[in-house]
Amino acid sequence: MEIFGDAKTTGLEHLTLEQMLEDNLPEPILKEVKRILYGREVETLDLPKFEKGVNCEIKGYKMGGAIVEQLRPPRIVRVAIIQNTIVLPTTDPIRDQREAIHKKLAKYVEHAASCGANIICLQEGWPMPFAFCTREKYPWCEFAEDAITGPTTELMSGLARKHNMVIVSPILERDQTNGDTLWNTAVVIGTDGRVIGKHRKNHIPRKNDFNESTYYMEGNLGHAVFDTPFGKIAINTCYGRHHPLNWLMFALNGAEIVFNPSATTKTLSEPMWGIEARNAAIANSYYTCAINRVGTEVFPNAFTSGNGQPAHHDFGHFYGSSYIAAPDGTRTPGLSRSEDGVLIAEIDLNLCRQIKDFWGFRMTSRLDMYAEKLAKVVQPDFEPQIIKQ
Amino acid sequence: MEIFGDAKTTGLEHLTLEQMLEDNLPEPILKEVKRILYGREVETLDLPKFEKGVNCEIKGYKMGGAIVEQLRPPRIVRVAIIQNTIVLPTTDPIRDQREAIHKKLAKYVEHAASCGANIICLQEGWPMPFAFCTREKYPWCEFAEDAITGPTTELMSGLARKHNMVIVSPILERDQTNGDTLWNTAVVIGTDGRVIGKHRKNHIPRKNDFNESTYYMEGNLGHAVFDTPFGKIAINTCYGRHHPLNWLMFALNGAEIVFNPSATTKTLSEPMWGIEARNAAIANSYYTCAINRVGTEVFPNAFTSGNGQPAHHDFGHFYGSSYIAAPDGTRTPGLSRSEDGVLIAEIDLNLCRQIKDFWGFRMTSRLDMYAEKLAKVVQPDFEPQIIKQ
């Protein structure tokens, strides 16, 4: 049961949704279509391009929407999200694979810094191929590293300190002080280069290729919000975006920006991609940043996917399309569906509280009632409220 | 602060989003755009048109997506949703206004029956103009009626019995046995014409024109699911669609179809309309039916909207665009943005459990953890989980 069609390529992955619309729709139809689909018009930021030979898209937008308050100055922040392909074949030595990605991504982070980025978030498991689909333990477990002392954190710490940035770096974590367990962890690095803390993926998929519980379990670090010089941020990793309660808890802890570093493929989820992180932005009056891996990754040993199809060597096409959504539901265009990209959004954090005041979702949320109801639902003798004809 | 632009009309309300795409995008671009935006392709149902002179669109789709199980037969149901303008000017006698809408809608319901509809849901407050924006009590409170004995329930009971249908009829309720209070209530009528029960809107907007708490308070009937011969159904009324916990409770009580009868206008919410009910379908593995009022309703006395604009006589354009979403996120095209319409979807209720099995969202939802956390959040001494740099 493949959800959205078979794995066949349409040959249109080089075009984003926006390109397909912009190339074909006449004004004023295009404007109306974009309004219905994406909300308020967002201004384009004029950003430096990458140097020649670097095959990475750069897009920037000013999200707008906030009013100027009398008693609070605007809190303008530039948020960057990055999507990347792997660099070397998955058969190359682990160290080489990682170093090649490190080298490429360091360049992207440097460039984002030159664009004025204050906070950067990379994709889920960015310094490695998304090998969990194979269900093989080795060599893939060797990509796991310590969240504080590992080479990836070392690299990103240096960049954070150098550019006075906050960096969210999602890796495969090896927790040496707790039985060498693995975790799907986002490391949050402060402007001084020190690790502020980490978030561990709260909801682990157990479906088809996505048997990630083969490697790690549900996160045990709760729903921390990290209070940085550029706003209160949190991380909802990948599959957690399907869980409204996960999004909600970050809001209840005060998040203003929630990153959703992900790895998801075309036939599995593409039509849901534009919906979930954006709905979370609306429902919780915060900014969300949906970041997807990009490209197709080929593994040496064929594996099956629990869907009746023959064994194959790749997990499907990661469709990129990373985007940022504002608390009022307005969103940016997406990054490429096939190539590396950096997306920068200039946002005013004040919009979060303004939208709470405007729409009143938090005020009208009746949390007491739901706390009481959920407490009953999880009891073994729970009886659903059903009225029969 | 108007969210999505000013109240100016674009002059494109006669076109739906799908029409704008279909009229301008070449194949195979159109196909790819529709896949990304709407998911699996849905088949068109061949349905009888309305008789000449009835100005009401009819659209029908077979949602598909379910597999044939070995131990459970398919549970095929036809669901109808209806959006309608009012008929007479709001200055006409209340009784005349209501009777004119009754007469028109009876025709629509009869037609839906002739299309094989098993369950029908009408829009929020369907037998009246959406007068709550005026904040005037009279004459508008006179539209309120008893949920069991009122003229609207009487009309719909007869139609339900005649056609062996379940009808969800959202009205303004006058609760005579409880102090003559008003409620925003959906009456659920069984195939025998008797009222199975009712749902009262759980979340009441308090914003700009939407000061509905002037008239009625948050519903006190919980999150009942109605077990009908055509599946387990529930109602999340209008503003409740912004509240993920409201959607969730219906799921926890076992709903397979959740209706969202609404009344919302273009500049306020149009870019959010395609997101929220559809996200709820995905997150909760059930069908959702988003039903919006349509047209512009003009009131005799000018009113202000708390947005700095001059007093005016209408609440803005209700943009219709009613649609149905499946548990896998696939959705139908929308009804008209300017005219009456009936949308019929043929669905297999078995898809709900199949998608639960496939995606595993319920299994991985960690409800125990959230029940515990929410219980803490609502305590006066709650301390959010914040980690400072």
Between these two residues, B8 and A135, which has the higher pLDDT value?
A135
Question: pLDDT class for A3, splitting at 50, 70, 90?
Answer: low
Give the pLDDT mean for A280-303: 97
| Surface-to-core class of residue A8, CB atoms within 10 Å of its CB (0-12 exposed, 13-18 middle, 19+ buried) | exposed
Q: How far is A279 from chain B (nearest CA, A)?
A: 6
CB pairs under 8 A between A and B: 296
pLDDT band at residue A307 under the 50/70/90 scheme: confident
Residue B95: other Cβ atoms inside 10 A: 11
Is A302 an 8 Å CB contact of chain B? no
Contact at CB, B270 and A225, closer than 8 angstroms: no
B69 in contact with A, Cβ within 8 Å: no
Q: How far is B103 from chain A (nearest CA, A)?
A: 27
B52 vs chain A: nearest CA distance in angstroms?
A: 31
Whether cis (ω within 30° of 0) applies to the bond prior to A28 is yes
In the beta sheet, which residues pair with residue A262?
A292
Distance from CA of B119 to the nearest CA of A (A): 13
Least CA distance to A331: which residue of chain B?
B271
Note whether B195 contacts A: Cβ–Cβ < 8 A.
no
Is residue B26 within 8 A of residue A25, CB to CB? The reply is no
Q: From A379, which residue of chain B is nearest by alpha-carbon distance?
A: B368
Disruptive mutation site among B374, B376, B377, B383 for chain A (greatest number of A CBs within 10 Å): B374
Under DSSP, is residue B189 helix (H, G, I), strand (E, B) or coil?
strand
Cβ contact, residue pair A377, B354, below 8 Å? no
Question: Do the Cβ atoms of B325 and B116 come closer than 8 Å?
Answer: no
CA A381 to chain centre: 38
Is there a contact between B384 and A252 if contact means CB atoms under 8 Å apart? yes
Contacts of B189 in chain A (CB under 8 A): none
Give me the pLDDT at residue A2, please: 53
The answer to whether residue B362 neighbours chain A at the CB level (below 8 Å) is no
Q: Considering the candidates B56, B121, B238, B289, report the single residue annotated as catalytic.
A: B238
From chain B, the residues in CB contact with A253 under 8 A are 384-386
Return the beta strands (E) in A63-160 as ranges: 76-83, 119-121
Helix axes B94-114, B151-163, angle to 10 degrees: 10
* Residue B379 contacts A, CB cutoff 8 Å: no
- List pLDDT tens digits, range A174-221: 999 999 999 999 999 999 999 999 999 999 999 876 789 999 999 999
B236: its two tokens = 């999340």
Catalytic residue among B34, B56, B124, B346: B124
Whether A64 has its CB under 8 Å from any CB of chain B: the answer is: no
Contacts of A205 in chain B (CB under 8 A): 360, 364
3-state secondary structure of A275: helix
Helix H or strand E encompassing A369: helix A367-377
Q: CB distance from B36 to chain A under 8 Å?
A: yes
On whether the CB atoms of residues B335 and B322 are closer than 8 A, the answer is yes
Q: Rounded to an integer, what distance in angstroms lies between the CA atom of residue B225 and that of residue B249? A: 10
Answer whether B35 sits within 8 Å of A270, measured CB to CB. yes
What is the pLDDT, as a whole number, of residue B208? Answer: 74
Query: Under an 8 A CB cutoff, do B282 and A276 touch?
Result: yes
Question: Catalytic annotation on B238?
Answer: yes
> Which B-chain residues 108-137 have CB contacts (< 8 A) with chain A?
none
How many angstroms away from the CA of A64 is the closest CA of chain B? Answer: 11
- Asked if A208 and A202 count as a contact pair (C-beta separation under 8 A), the reply is no
B212 HSE (CA, 13 A, CB side):
25
Q: Does A271 touch chain B (CB under 8 A)?
A: yes
Q: Amino acid identity, residue A152?
A: T
Facing B361 at nearest CB: one of A202, A243, A329: A243
Contact B387 A239 (CB under 8 A): no
* Helix (H/G/I), strand (E/B), else coil: A198: strand
Q: Which residues of chain A neighbour B366 with C-beta distances below 8 Å?
A: 202-203, 218, 243, 245
Under a CB-based contact definition with an 8 Å cutoff, are residues B343 and B60 in contact? yes
Which of A36, A195, A288 should one mutate to test binding to chain B, selecting the residue with the greatest count of B CBs within 10 A?
A36
Contact list in B for residue A360 (CB cut-off 8 A) is 205-207
Residue with tokens 């209806």: B82
Give catalytic status of residue B56 as yes or no: no
Distance from CA of A307 to the nearest CA of B (A): 10
Contact B299, B314 (CB under 8 A): yes
**A236-265: per-residue pLDDT in tens?**
999 999 999 999 999 999 999 999 999 999
Is the pLDDT at A355 greater than 70, yes or no?
A: yes
pLDDT of the residue at A269: 93
Strands B195-200 and B206-207: unpaired
Q: Residue type at A328?
A: D
CB contact under 8 A, A245 and B248: yes
pLDDT averaged over chain A?
A: 96
Contact list in A for residue B191 (CB cut-off 8 A) is 389
So what's the pLDDT on residue B5? 57
Contacts of B250 in chain A (CB under 8 A): none
Q: What is the pTM of this model?
A: 0.97
Q: What is the pLDDT along chain B (389 residues), one digit of tens a residue?
A: 455 655 456 789 899 999 999 999 999 999 999 999 999 999 999 999 999 999 999 999 999 999 999 999 999 999 999 999 999 999 999 999 999 999 999 999 999 999 999 999 999 999 999 999 999 999 999 999 999 999 999 999 999 999 999 999 999 999 999 999 999 999 999 999 999 999 999 999 998 767 899 999 999 999 999 999 999 999 999 999 999 999 999 999 999 999 999 999 988 899 999 999 999 999 999 999 999 999 999 999 999 988 888 999 998 999 999 999 999 999 999 999 999 999 999 999 999 999 999 999 999 999 999 999 999 999 999 999 999 99
Query: Does residue A109 contact residue A167 with C-beta atoms inside 8 Å?
Result: yes
Question: How far does the CA of residue B176 sit from the closest CA of chain A (Å)?
Answer: 22
Q: Residues 340..359 of B with a Cβ closer than 8 Å to A: which?
A: 354, 358-359
Closest CA to A365 of B383, B210, B218, B11: B218
Pick from B29, B269, B115, B96: which is nearest to A23 by CA? B29
Task: Look at residues A180, A187, A85, A91 and name the one whose alpha carbon lies nearest to residue A140.
Answer: A91
Point out the residues of A that are catalytic. Answer: 124, 201, 238
- Rounded (5°) CA angle B116-B122-B128: 140
